[in-house]
Amino acid sequence: MFMKTNRAQTRARLMAGIATAAVTLTGVMASAETVRWARVADALTLDPHSQNEGPTHTLNHHIYETLVGRAVDGSLTEGLATDWGISEDDENVWVFQIREGVTFHDGTPMTAEDVVFSLDRARTPPSGMAALHAAVEEVTAVDDSTVHVRMSGPAPLYVQNLTNTFIMSKAWAEENGVETAPNFAAGEEAYSVRNTNGTGPYVMVERDPEVRTVLQAFDGHWADAPEVTEVIYTTISEAATRVAALLSGEVDIVQDVPVQDIARLEQTDGVRVVRGPENRNIFFSYDMSSETLASSDADDNPFAKPEVREAMALAIDRNAIRQVVMRGESQPSAAPLPPFVNGWTEEMDAFGDPDLERAAELMAEAGYPDGFSVQLDCPNDRYLNDESICQALVGMLARIDIRVDLNAQTRSLHFPLIENWETDFYLLGWGVPTFDSQYVFDFLVHTREGSYGSFNGSRYSNPDLDAKIQSLSTMTDLEARDAMIAEIWEEVMEERIFLNVHNQVLAYAMRDNINLDVHPENQPRMTTVTFD
């Protein structure tokens, strides 16, 4: 029974697609360009608010739009909002000017009501975006093109949380019974998982999950028509096949290029590789607070001693990891935040050469002249070469007699260890979607309580620092706030809560007549593609 409807839906969608294609083709016949784009994983759903996940957002950004966007350099750009700011009358209220003349793919105009509806939908469980809107109290449409968002207190950076919150049609959602985000526990498929009605630059005309998704340029879009008029998005999970498909000419852009293939692809005729820093740092952290470590032969907790943490910082050779493990494709750094994030400074990111002699002295001073043993937990399918990075560290720490027992496993087994405080020593990667240091402090530094510290596996707890971190979220004087951020960083770096390795570098490979920049959040937009 359900298959029948499904088939009928597909047919209806195809017909709609053909109609749209016909309309589109007449409009931009002169420069009809198709781009075939492959990456490792497909969007999990097309519902705009269900999942806060990279590939899902990346695809949805072509179909739906957000109030504000994120440019390749990390700055905010206009989206469906043309202007935004904190209200002059009330510092708890954010005011958004909504773009006029925007229509949804079904032809209905977008209004402030749709924005209100979408923000409410996004902040209501079971939406995956709810955590980003936790401080919102009320969203109201003041007039046709102005939306007010009332926060529970001053929230100077709230707009940074909006870059992945899509706007959908209220009428369409109500018509199809998807007024809230799909619920995993409910056990039935929501209409919005495979059907869309956004305002974005492309209309979805075909969707075969994990096989192929076809997008056609939306001729009713408010912005200039993109050069790419058709996007064929495919999933190829196997790295070797993905690269082969590019070399054989079956796809034009490959987004997730395996590190070991970058050099070879660069030397291939007709293929171009572009690189850029990703918004993700890779670091180690350790249990600094427990009395003893479960996996160690030491009688106390070595990581609680500043000398040991300093010795480890002196033993790690970040440049060697870059050259040997990452084949040159990383940015070694000492601070756990990417350079384009607010609060980053060159000084905190700098590191010296490894100094094993001094490290050995420190180990002896700390009371471990013969070292100690400990287990290192590491994911093996989450970050670029994650397991190899851990293996490299095992060798480096062995030189100062820290005997590391490596436990590398799949991500779904690794992350619960951090969540449940069952690891003494672990690898974690962290991106900063708000592009502000507070995000790092909230999740990784603050004591674990309520919505704070959920990834604070170091069990670090410092009430003074907690108070400072909490004060950040309501400081409206941005200069004072930046000073506070610097103050917090100074303490975090001095305490050595993190043993940072590097910033990940992204690489996209494509035909050499295509231009596409690397997006720091790994969300390339086909609208930005140009051809030579």
Candidates 205-213, 274-282, 346-354, 391-399: pick the segment binding another protein (CB under 8 A).
Answer: 205-213
Q: Is 132 near another protein (CB under 8 A)?
A: yes
Q: Is 244 near another protein (CB under 8 A)?
A: yes
Q: Is 12 near another protein (CB under 8 A)?
A: no
Candidates 95-103, 113-121, 232-240, 309-317: pick the segment binding another protein (CB under 8 A).
Answer: 232-240
Which member of 16, 53, 150, 339 binds another protein (CB under 8 A)?
A: 53
- The least distance separating another protein from the CB of residue 396, rounded to whole angstroms, comes to 28
Residue 211 contacts by C-beta under 8 Å, 6 or more apart in sequence? 234, 235
Q: Is 435 near another protein (CB under 8 A)?
A: no
Q: Is 250 near another protein (CB under 8 A)?
A: yes
Q: Is 448 near another protein (CB under 8 A)?
A: yes
- Residue 280: in which H helix or E strand, if any? strand 271-286
Rounded Cα distance between 270 and 512, Å, is 5
Rounded Cα distance between 425 and 447, Å, is 18
Residue 180 contacts by C-beta under 8 Å, 6 or more apart in sequence? 121, 124, 126, 127
Is the CB of 95 or the CB of 243 nearer to another protein? 243
- Residue 470: in which H helix or E strand, if any? helix 463-472
Candidates 1-9, 66-74, 280-288, 511-519: pick the segment binding another protein (CB under 8 A).
Answer: 1-9
CB atoms under 10 Å from CB of 476, counted, come to 12
Q: Is 40 near another protein (CB under 8 A)?
A: no
Query: What are the backbone angles phi and psi of residue 34, rounded to the nearest 5°?
Result: -105, 135
What's the Cα-to-Cα distance from 365 to each of 84, 153, 304, 305, 370, rounded to whole Å?
Answer: 55, 48, 14, 10, 11
What does DSSP assign to residue 495? H
Q: Is 13 near another protein (CB under 8 A)?
A: no
Q: Is 422 near another protein (CB under 8 A)?
A: no
Q: Is 52 near another protein (CB under 8 A)?
A: yes
Residue 208 tokens, joined: 């075969």
Rounded Cα distance between 474 and 468, Å, is 11
SS3 36: strand
SS3 117: helix
Which member of 111, 160, 197, 234 binds another protein (CB under 8 A)?
A: 234
Q: Is 182 near another protein (CB under 8 A)?
A: yes
> Binding residues for another protein, per CB under 8 A?
2-4, 6-7, 44-45, 47, 50-53, 125-126, 128-129, 131-132, 182, 184-190, 193-194, 208-212, 234-238, 240-241, 244-245, 247-250, 381, 410-413, 415-416, 419, 443, 448, 450-451, 454-455
